[in-house]
Amino acid sequence: MNSISYEAKMGMEQREGVTAGAARPGDAVPAADVSGKAEDRRMVGDHTHPNPVMVCRDVTVHYGEKRAIHDVSLDVGANEVIAMIGPSGCGKSTFLRCLNRMNDTIDGCRVSGSILLDGQDIYDRRTDVVPLRARVGMVFQKPNPFPKSIYENVAYGPRIHGLARSRTELDEIVQTSLEKAGLWGEVKDRLDQPGTGLSGGQQQRLCIARTISVSPEVILMDEPCSALDPIATARIEELIDELRGNYSIAIVTHSMQQAARVSQRTAYFHLGDLIEVGDTADIFTNPRHRLTEDYITGRFG
């Protein structure tokens, strides 16, 4: 581990940089039943990525006395879409929110472990969360445009981060961001109209344009399609695939079909533990853990 963990900085116990008990590449599958599926709570699969943008190790989150996630280690790779799936309450959103310190806004929430972005500890005391949240942007379940014009929704971030030296440069950023979000053609003649006047799917693409406008490296998506109809969902899924060319994307979804369609890797969470991580096709066709199999076959969750 090439940085001091946040937990260590907090004067707590320093631990190894790899999840205790986590299987490493090539490890035998732990305690298995007759079908060969792992059954205990140790993680199976490879949590690392050969070209990581974010490296998370031993991430544990408490809300007050309640532990929501436990010793989660996972990389987010360059130009990949990684999906996080699991039953309600398993800690997917909690983990996602750790990646841009969104949990800092929740009273009583404590995060330990280490999370590096391009090798830098995002929980370092010197880290300013405003630029961090531009580098690791977030798209929420419910589209949440500002009560401002379409133009201003996208221009706001570049303006406060000082990314444009002139109105012409700002116009260019707004146009490019709307183009990348697949919305330019639909809104270019009404940029001065309220963002809240767009359809739900358009509003979500506007929120994606807003995220893109400050040049993030990673985009976090927390059930971005759950409020959308199937056509708007399909449009966002196409967009996620296009965006992968320029960004890393971590998506929480309740839809296994969506995870299978949009992601290259999938991480399965259960009761706060990361149980299995691997290539999406393998997870859905040949899960190695009994809990993963039970979830994807609909036996619970």
Ligand X SMILES: Nc1ncnc2c1ncn2[C@@H]1O[C@H](COP(=O)(O)OP(=O)(O)OP(=O)(O)O)[C@@H](O)[C@H]1O
- Which of 3, 100 has the CB closer to ligand X? 100
Q: Which residues 104-123 are close enough to bind ligand X by CB under 6 A?
A: 106
Task: Tell me the closest approach of the beta carbon of residue 66 to ligand X, in angstroms.
Answer: 6
Q: Compute the distance between CA of residue 113 and CA of residue 163 in angstroms, rounded to an integer.
A: 32
Any contact of residue 31 with ligand X (CB under 6 A)? no
DSSP bridge pairs for 254: none
Q: Nearest CA to 106 among 150, 141, 61? A: 61
Quote the distance between the C-alpha of residue 149 and its chain's center.
27
Contact letters for ligand X, residues 241-280 (x by CB under 6 A): ----------------------------------------
Any contact of residue 140 with ligand X (CB under 6 A)? no
# of chain residues touching ligand X (CB under 6 A): 12
Task: Tell me the closest approach of the beta carbon of residue 269 to ligand X, in angstroms.
Answer: 6
Cα→Cα distances 202→148, 198, 211, Å:
15, 6, 14
DSSP bridge pairs for 84: 252, 267
Contact letters for ligand X, residues 181-200 (x by CB under 6 A): --------------------
DSSP 8-state symbol, 194: B
Q: Compute the distance between CA of residue 285 and CA of residue 2 in angstroms, rounded to an integer.
A: 36
Interface residue with ligand X, options 44, 68, 74, 154 (CB under 6 A) = 68
Any contact of residue 202 with ligand X (CB under 6 A)? no
Interface residue with ligand X, options 5, 19, 60, 94 (CB under 6 A) = 94
Cα→Cα distances 223→115, 129, 173, 208, 280, Å:
22, 23, 26, 13, 17
Cα→Cα distances 269→71, 124, 242, 244, 276, Å:
12, 26, 26, 23, 7
- Which of 75, 223 has the CB closer to ligand X? 223
Interface residue with ligand X, options 3, 19, 73, 93 (CB under 6 A) = 93
Interface residue with ligand X, options 89, 119, 131, 197 (CB under 6 A) = 89
**Given the rule CB under 6 A, which of 14-22, 51-59, 90-98, 157-165 is the region that contacts ligand X?**
90-98
Looking only at Cα atoms, what is the longest distance across the chain?
Answer: 67
Interface residue with ligand X, options 91, 113, 216, 278 (CB under 6 A) = 91
Interface residues toward ligand X, by CB under 6 A:
63, 66, 68, 86, 88-94, 106
